[in-house]
Amino acid sequence: MLMRIEAWGREEREPVELPESVRAETWQTLTYLMIAGGIMLFTTFSASYLVRRQSADWAPARLPDLVWVNLAVVGAASVTMELARRGGASARRWLGSTIALGVLFVAGQAIAWRQLAAQGVFLTSSPHASFFYMLTAVHAAHVAAGLAVLLAALRRAGNGQLGLCAAWWHFVGAAWAWVVMLLTFF
């Protein structure tokens, strides 16, 4: 077998690089697909939430006010991301502030967890709390992925190639807005 497929690897030395423009298109496909997958994930969770809340034991707890502050933070991060995307000389600075706001957001979420835990509300306290903890954790994973991407993009900031990073980042922000609305009003 090894002999048979010998030829495949014979000329292997450099990976076959795609031209920049094609590469950009594949990134675009990848990003939008992942956003679609992410939307499906949060839709599934939301549907589960709406089903689960019909049980007799449903008792919505008041979320810490901090989640609204966090919403504002993530909103601001979207704005700075948008400014960074526009490019220009200050793009890197805007991207830096986006990352800072992102970190602040995650930290804020962690504090919100601790506030809730201090009130004696834990993962298993009520179904509403279970959803809160689970959804924030799942969402934080998405934010963390976004932050990693932004950090990687910091080098390239300024040459106007932040469109896809921005798309993901806006998705993450919108997802949090949706989660907060869901947990508060439904």
Partner 1 sequence: MAIAQAVETGKAGHQAHGRDHGHPAGFIRKYIFSTDHKVIGVQYLLMAMLMSVVGLGLSLWFRVQLAWPGKAAMTPEQYVAIVTMHGTIMIFFVVSLALSSGLGNFSIPLQVGARDMAYPFLNMLSFWIIVPASAIMILSFFVEGGAAAGGWTAYPPLSALSGFGKVPRGSPGSGMGQTLWLLAMALFIVSFTMGGLNYVATILNLRARGMSLMRMPLTVWTYFVAALLGLLSFPALTAAAIMLLLDRHLGTSFFLPSGLVVSGQQAANVGGTPLLFQHLFWFLGHPEVYVLVLPAIGIAFDVIAAFSRRPPHGYKTSVWALLIIAFLGMIVWGHHMFTSGMNPFLGKYFSIATLLITAPFAVLGVNLLASLWRARIRFTTSMLFALGLISAVGTGGIGGLFLATATADLHFHDTYFVVGHFHLMIGVVTMTGTFAGIYYWFPKMFGRHMNETLGKLHFWGTFIGAFALFVIQHFQGFGGMTRRYFEYSADYVQPALALNPAVTWFAFLAVGAQIPFFFNFFWSMFKGKKAEANPWEATTLEWTTATPVPHGNWERLPVVSGKPYGYAEGANGDAHRMQNAEA
Partner 2 sequence: MIRVSALSTAPLLLVLALLGSGCGGSDGASGGGNKPAGGPGGDAGQPTGPDMKIDAGTAGSISGAVKFEGTPPTERVNSAEADAYCHGKHPDGIKSESSVIGAGGELANVFVWIKKGITGKFPLPSEPVTLRQTGCRYEPHVLGLRNGQELLIRNEDETMHNVHSLPKANEEFNFAQTKKGDEAKKKLSAQEVMVKFKCDAHGWMSAWVGVVNHPYFAVTGADGKFELKNVPPGEYEVEAWHEKFGKQQQALKVETKGDAKLSFTFKEN
DSSP for 43-62? HHHHHHHHHHTTSTT--PPP
- Is 107 a binding residue for partner 2 by CB under 8 A? The answer is no
The distance of closest approach from Cβ of residue 92 to partner 2 in the complex, given in angstroms and rounded to an integer, is: 16
- Is 99 a binding residue for partner 2 by CB under 8 A? The answer is no
The DSSP code for 88 is: S
Which residue in 45, 131, 168, 176 binds partner 2 (CB under 8 A)? 168
Query: By C-alpha distance, which of 42, 44, 52, 70 is closest to 138?
Result: 42
- Is 22 a binding residue for partner 1 by CB under 8 A? The answer is yes
Angle between helices 163-185 and 20-52 (to 10 degrees): 0
- Is 38 a binding residue for partner 1 by CB under 8 A? The answer is yes
- Is 115 a binding residue for partner 1 by CB under 8 A? The answer is no
Residue 95 near residue 162 (C-beta atoms within 8 A):
yes
Query: Applying CB under 8 A, which residues contact partner 1?
Result: 1-22, 25-26, 29-30, 33-34, 36-38, 40-41, 43-45, 48, 51-52, 55-58, 123-124, 127, 130, 134, 138
